[in-house]
Structure 1
Amino acid sequence: TVKVSYPIFKNALAVGIPGTKEKGLHMAVALALLAGKSEYGLEVLKDITSKDVLKAKEIIKRNIIDVTIARNIVGLYVEVEAFSNLGKTKVIIKDKHDNIVIVQRNDQVIFKKAEAEQQQVSLIQSMKKMRIRDFVEFADRVDIKLLDLVEKGIKMNKKIAEAGMASKYGKVLGNGLSVHDMDYKDYAKYLTSVASFARMSGYPLPVMSCAGSGNHGLTAILPVVAVGEKKRIDPDKLIRGVALSLLVTIYVKSFTGTLSPVCGCGVAAGVGASAGITYILGGSIEQIEGAIKNMIGTLAGIICDGGKPGCAFKLSVSVDAAIECAMMALNDVVISSDDGIVDETAEKTVYNLGKVSTEGMATTDEAIMGVMMGKCM
C-alpha cells in the first residue's frame, strides 16, 4: 500500500519513468519491487530493463499494489507498507524526495530521523532571513573553486538538453532553426524546453535538481547558460550567475514550499533565472531585485498541474518571461510596488508570493486533482 500527498500524486500521474515508455505510480512501485536499488539514491530505477517492464505489468495485473492519496497532509509525503508471509514493513518519506524519516518492521521502529527534520526546518528558516543582496555578494566573492557543484550541474543539464535536441522533438521545439541561427532568447527557450521534454518523457539521463525539483534545476541553470554562451560571457562569471540563480530559486521555494499549487519553474526557478541573467549582463543589485519583482508580478498565477512532457511549454514561457523581465530591469523598468502583490522590496514581494501560494491556494491542489482524476474515469 502506498499513500502519497496530493502534490506527489499529481506530479507522478503523467510523468515518464526513466528508461521506459511507461508512466504512473503503480508501474514505478512494481519496477522498484523488481529492480530498484536504494544505493543509487534518486536514480533508484536506472538499471531496469525491458524484461523488468514486462514483469512489472504482470505484477500490476495481480492487483497487489494499492495507491491512495494521504489527505489532510501538506507538502511532500510518501508512506509505503509492504506485507508478506514473513511480516510487514513501513517506510515514510517526508519534506524531501530522499528524506526517509521512519522505518518500521512489524510495528517496531528500527529507524527514526527526527533530528534531520529539525535541521531541514532550521535551514528553511535561515534562508527566509536572507536578503537578495546577500546572495549577490556571495556570488561575487565566493572562491570559484567552491562552485564545482554548480559547474557539474551546468554540464549535467546541458547534456540532457543535447539529448533532447537530437530527439524527434528537437526540430519541432526549435521551429526548424539550427542552434547557430537562434538569438539568445530563442536559444535559451529551446535549450530549456528540449531538456525538460527529454526528462519528462523518461530519457535515461540524470539532471541537477534545485529545491527538490529536476525541472527547477533545468530552469534555474540552462537559460543563464544559454544567454551566457550567446553573449560570450566569461566562464567564471557565468558560473557565478548560475549560482545566484540557484540561490534565489531556493529562497523563493522556502516561502512557497517544496511542492505547491503554483508552477515552481515559473515562479521560483524562472525568478532565479531572471536574477542570474541580470547578474551576468552586468546588472546592479537594485536591477537584480527589479528583475525578481518583474517576474513575480508577471507569472505569479501560473498553476502546477503535475509533472508531464507538457511542462516543456511552461518552461519555455518562463524562460521568455525571465529574459524579458531581466532586460526591463536592466533598463530600470520595474513593476510598481502599487501593483498587485509586488511590494517595496524584492524580499517582501517573495513573501507575498509565498502567502498567496500557501494560504491563498490551500485547496487548489485538491481541485486540480479532481479535474485530472475526472479525465481518468
Structure 2
Amino acid sequence: MTFSIKDILLMEVAPALGCTEPVAIALAAAAAASLLDHPEPDAIEVWVDPNIYKNGLAVIIPGTGGLVGLDTAAALGAFGGDASRGLEVLDTVDDAAVDRTRACVRDARVLVNLLEDRKGLFIRVLIRSGADTAEAVIEGVHDNITTLLRNGQPVADSPLVASKRGVDKGGLCALEEWLKAQSLDRLLELLDGLDADDLVFLREGVDTNMRLAEYGLRNDPGLGVGRTLERLVRQKLICRDMVQAARILTSAAADARMGGARLPAMSSAGSGNHGLTAILPIRAVYDYVACTEEDMLRAVALSHVVTAYVKAYTGRLSAVCGCSVAAGAGATAGVALLLGGSARHVAGAIKNLTGDLAGVICDGAKAGCALKLATAAGTAVQAALFALQGVNVWETDGIIGPSPEKTMQNIGTLSTEGMIETDRTILKIMLEKRFSGY
C-alpha cells in the first residue's frame, strides 16, 4: 500500500479544541451519554491508561473558567458535549453544562480509575442513569471510538464509531508502517503531490494556530510566556530575530491553549501542542525570508510528515516530550526547507534538533508546556540555521545515527524501551503531589 501527502494530512492533521487527552475523555463520555434517554447521569466511571491519566491531570479545560481534571472532562462531555464533532466535542458546552459538571464532581459522582499496566492509548467511560447504562471505548487514537454499548448490548451502525466517521485506526497503523519504510528523500518527494485543496487546508491550519498565538499575546493566559518574551523584546532586554519570533508565537499559542482559551488548535499526529510546534516556527520564519506563501505551506506540509514519521516510532504518548523530538523535528525540517536548504540540510537540521532536545521529558499537559514549546520552537529554527551553515552533530555522538532516518528511529527506541521506568516515576511523582494536596 502506498500513501500520498493528502492521505497523511487527512489522517494526521485535524482541529482540536482543548488538550487532546481530557478532550478524548469528554468525547467518550459524550458518545456514551448520547445513547441514554435520561438527562441526568447518576454516576460516571472512567478507566484510562497511564499517559492519558498523566496528561489530563492539570491542564485547564476550555470554556470552564479554569476547571481541570479527568473527572471534570468526563462530566463535561456527558452534560454538554457533542460527540459528532470529534475532537471539537466541547465546542457546544455552555454555562449550564459547566454548572452541572461542577455539581457532579462535587457530589463525587465521577470515579476515575488508572489502569497502571495498560499500554497504548485507552479510555473507557461507563455512565449509569436509572436502570440504564451506556459505555464507550476509545483506543489507539484520541478520537478512535471502537465500542459503544447500551445496557451491555452493542449499538449497531452508530455514526460515532470511528470507522464510520472516516477515522480508521487500521488505516493509521498501515500509514505508520509505511512511513517507517520511507527515506527522508521520499518524504520530501511527497510534497510534489500537494494540490490546491491541500494548500487551502494547510493555510487553514496556519490561521487556526495563529489565532491562538494572537489570543495569547493579547490576553496573557496560562503562564504568559509568549507575552513575557514580547515584553522583554520591547524593553530591549532581548532582541527579536527569527529564533525569538518562533519562540514568541509558539509559546503564546501554548499559553492560550493550556490556559483554557476556547479556540481550536490544528493538531498534528494527534496532539494540539504538536500542531502548534509543527506550524508556528515556520510561520514565524516566513516573515523574515523572501518566499511565497506556497513555499511556507509546503514547509508546513513537510513538518507534518516528519512529525508523523517520528510519532510512528515513539507512539502517540510517551515519557519523551513529543513537541520537542517529533514536532520539533518536523518544524526544523520545514524551516530548513523554507530557508532554501537541500535534503542534506534538512537531514542535518533533524540531527541537530535531536542532539539538543532528546532528553526533554513529558510530565503531563499543563501551563508550563508553553516553556517547552518555546524551547522546541527556538531550537527548531536554530538547528536549521546551523545545518545551513554546515554545523551538523556527528553520528558518533550519543543517540545520533548515521542518517536522519536512523536518528529518528533511535528516538523511538528511547521513548518506547528506554523511558518506561521514567514514565512510571513521573506519574508517581505527580500522584504523590495530587494526593498530598498540591
TM over 0.5: yes
Indicate yes or no: 2:273 matched with 1:208. no
Partner of 2:421 in structure 1?
363
Q: Is the 8 A contact 2:141 2:169 kept in 1?
A: no
**The one of 116, 121, 125 aligned to 1:80:** 125
Cα distance in 1 between the residues matched to 2:193 and 2:171: 26
Indicate yes or no: 2:183 matched with 1:110. no
* TM-score after normalising by structure 2: 0.82
Cα distance in 2 between the residues matched to 1:87 and 1:54: 24
Q: Secondary structure at the match of 2:265?
A: coil
Give, in angstroms, the shift of residue 107 of structure 1: 2.4
Partner of 1:131 in structure 2?
183
Cα distance in 2 between the residues matched to 1:356 and 1:251: 15
**The one of 346, 357, 382 aligned to 1:299:** 357
Q: Is the 8 A contact 2:227 2:248 kept in 1?
A: no
Cα distance in 1 between the residues matched to 2:372 and 2:350: 18
CA separation of 1:261/1:85 partners in 2, compared to 1, >3 Å: closer, same or farther? same
Partner of 2:380 in structure 1?
322
Give, in angstroms, the shift of residue 111 of structure 1: 4.8
Cα distance in 2 between the residues matched to 1:215 and 1:245: 14
- Paired residue type of 2:390: D
Cα distance in 1 between the residues matched to 2:233 and 2:196: 35
Give, in angstroms, the shift of residue 216 of structure 1: 0.2
Equivalent residues in 2 for 1:193-232, closer than 5 Å: 193-232=251-290
Q: Secondary structure at the match of 2:149?
A: strand
Cα distance in 2 between the residues matched to 1:326 and 1:268: 15
Q: Secondary structure at the match of 2:310?
A: helix
Deviations 1:228-253 (A, max 9, x none): 11224211111101111111011000
Give, in angstroms, the shift of residue 327 of structure 1: 1.0
- Paired residue type of 2:51: P
Indicate yes or no: 2:67 matched with 1:22. yes
Q: Is the 8 A contact 1:97 1:212 kept in 2?
A: yes
Question: Number of residues paired by the alignment?
Answer: 377
Equivalent residues in 2 for 1:1-377, closer than 5 Å: 1-20=45-64, 21-111=66-156, 116-140=168-192, 142-168=194-220, 169=224, 171-177=227-233, 182-376=240-434, 377=436
Deviates more, 1:120-129 or 1:135-144: 135-144
Which segments of 5 or more consecutive residues in structure 2 lack a partner in the other structure? 1-44
Cα distance in 2 between the residues matched to 1:50 and 1:177: 38
Give, in angstroms, the shift of residue 86 of structure 1: 2.8
- Paired residue type of 2:185: R
Cα distance in 1 between the residues matched to 2:149 and 2:98: 29
CA separation of 1:91/1:141 partners in 2, compared to 1, >3 Å: closer, same or farther? closer
Q: Secondary structure at the match of 1:279?
A: helix
Give, in angstroms, the shift of residue 87 of structure 1: 2.4
Cα distance in 1 between the residues matched to 2:400 and 2:333: 16
Cα distance in 1 between the residues matched to 2:214 and 2:310: 28
Deviations 1:271-298 (A, max 9, x none): 1111100000010101101111111111
RMSD: 1.9
Q: Secondary structure at the match of 1:224?
A: helix
Cα distance in 2 between the residues matched to 1:87 and 1:235: 54
Q: Is the 8 A contact 1:184 1:231 kept in 2?
A: no
Q: Secondary structure at the match of 1:275?
A: helix
Cα distance in 2 between the residues matched to 1:52 and 1:88: 20
Cα distance in 2 between the residues matched to 1:48 and 1:133: 45
Give, in angstroms, the shift of residue 121 of structure 1: 1.6
Which segments of 5 or more consecutive residues in structure 1 lack a partner in the other structure? none
- Paired residue type of 1:221: I
* TM-score after normalising by structure 1: 0.95
Give, in angstroms, the shift of residue 146 of structure 1: 2.9
Give, in angstroms, the shift of residue 51 of structure 1: 3.5
Q: Secondary structure at the match of 1:102?
A: strand
- Paired residue type of 1:30: A
Give, in angstroms, the shift of residue 2 of structure 1: 0.2
Give, in angstroms, the shift of residue 48 of structure 1: 2.2
Q: Is the 8 A contact 1:80 1:91 kept in 2?
A: yes
Give, in angstroms, the shift of residue 133 of structure 1: 0.9
Q: Is the 8 A contact 1:171 1:177 kept in 2?
A: no
Deviates more, 1:122-131 or 1:79-88: 79-88
Q: Secondary structure at the match of 2:326?
A: helix
Deviations 1:14-34 (A, max 9, x none): 111111211111111222222
Cα distance in 2 between the residues matched to 1:139 and 1:310: 34
Q: Secondary structure at the match of 1:46?
A: helix
Cα distance in 2 between the residues matched to 1:295 and 1:33: 41
- Paired residue type of 2:60: G
Cα distance in 1 between the residues matched to 2:393 and 2:216: 35
Cα distance in 1 between the residues matched to 2:76 and 2:192: 45
Q: Is the 8 A contact 1:75 1:260 kept in 2?
A: no
